[in-house]
């Protein structure tokens, strides 16, 4: 069967293992090597961070799937962990393995896991089948888009609802007395 290895700040990761993880992610991803390196360093706390996890699923000694999860460290967020990188070898991209792999990730994070992914991503439907639910839309500023909209700004009339504030009772301010 599969051999699963979890790396984190407590277990550590050797430079050789780290290089193998980065090379695997780089070979199956379009993410720049520097970003992959940073996310791996963040997960195992090789840089100031809240840490995270790296899950490597191997068949014999060769990795067939790798995921990098970073902890957010922000209380109150719906998810305490963000899946920032994951890749599955082409021969293993099927629903059965996908369910096994994400089952391990959810088990590792106590089902507190989120991922930012495009709706056109090939894994989008599989993620919804595993139980992930799209909740919000991410908006990223683009100077190019802003420049295209500049002539249209005057034509667009947008109504923004005013913020409703509760009326507060006026408090009496206590005077500070200092004994000298």
- pTM for this prediction: 0.77
Residue 177 forms part of a structural domain: no
Q: Is residue 17 part of a domain?
A: yes
Q: Is residue 116 part of a domain?
A: yes
pLDDT band at 164 (very low <50, low <70, confident <90, very high): low
CB count within 10 Å of CB 52 equals 28
| Distances from the Cα of 61 to the Cα of 2, 91, 96, 143, 175, angstroms | 10, 16, 21, 46, 73
**Residue 173 predicted with pLDDT over 70:** no
- Whether the predicted pLDDT of 169 surpasses 80: no
User: If you average pLDDT over residues 75-96, what whole number do you get?
Assistant: 90
Decide if 144 is inside a domain: no
Whether the Cβ atoms of residue 65 and residue 92 lie closer than 8 Å to each other: yes
Beta bridge partners of 81: 71, 113
Q: Domain holding 95: CATH number? A: 3.40.630.30
Q: Which range among 60-64, 137-141, 150-154 shows the weakest confidence by mean pLDDT?
A: 150-154
**Residue 101: which domain range?**
3-130
Count of domains for the chain: 1
DSSP assignments along 10-32, one per residue: TT---HHHHHHHHHHHHHH--S-
Residue 171 domain-assigned (yes or no): no
Confirm whether 158 is domain-assigned. no
Does residue 165 belong to any structural domain of this protein? Answer: no
State the average pLDDT for the chain: 85
Between 27 and 180, name the one with better pLDDT. Answer: 27
Give the pLDDT band (50/70/90) at residue 8. very high
Q: Closest Cα partner for 65 from 83, 77, 42? A: 83
Residue 33 lies in a domain: yes
Torsion over CA of 144, 150, 156 and 158, rounded to 10 degrees?
A: 70
């Amino acid at each position: 069967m599969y051999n699963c290895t979890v790396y984190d700040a407590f277990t550590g990761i050797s430079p050789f293992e780290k290089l193998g993880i980065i090379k695997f992610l780089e070979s199956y991803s379009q993410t720049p090597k520097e970003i992959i390196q940073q996310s791996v360093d963040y997960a195992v706390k090789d840089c100031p961070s809240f840490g995270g996890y790296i899950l490597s699923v191997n068949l014999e000694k060769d990795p067939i799937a790798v995921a990098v999860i970073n902890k957010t460290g922000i209380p109150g967020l719906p998810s305490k962990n963000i899946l920032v990188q994951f890749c599955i070898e082409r021969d293993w991209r099927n629903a059965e393995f996908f369910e096994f792999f994400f089952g391990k990730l959810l088990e590792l994070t106590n089902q507190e896991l989120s991922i930012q992914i495009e709706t056109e991503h090939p894994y989008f439907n599989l993620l919804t089948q595993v139980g992930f639910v799209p909740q919000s839309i991410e908006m990223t500023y683009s100077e190019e888009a802003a420049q295209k909209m500049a002539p249209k700004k005057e034509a667009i009339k947008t109504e923004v609802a005013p913020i409703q504030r509760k009326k507060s009772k006026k408090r009496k301010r206590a005077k500070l007395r200092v004994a000298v």
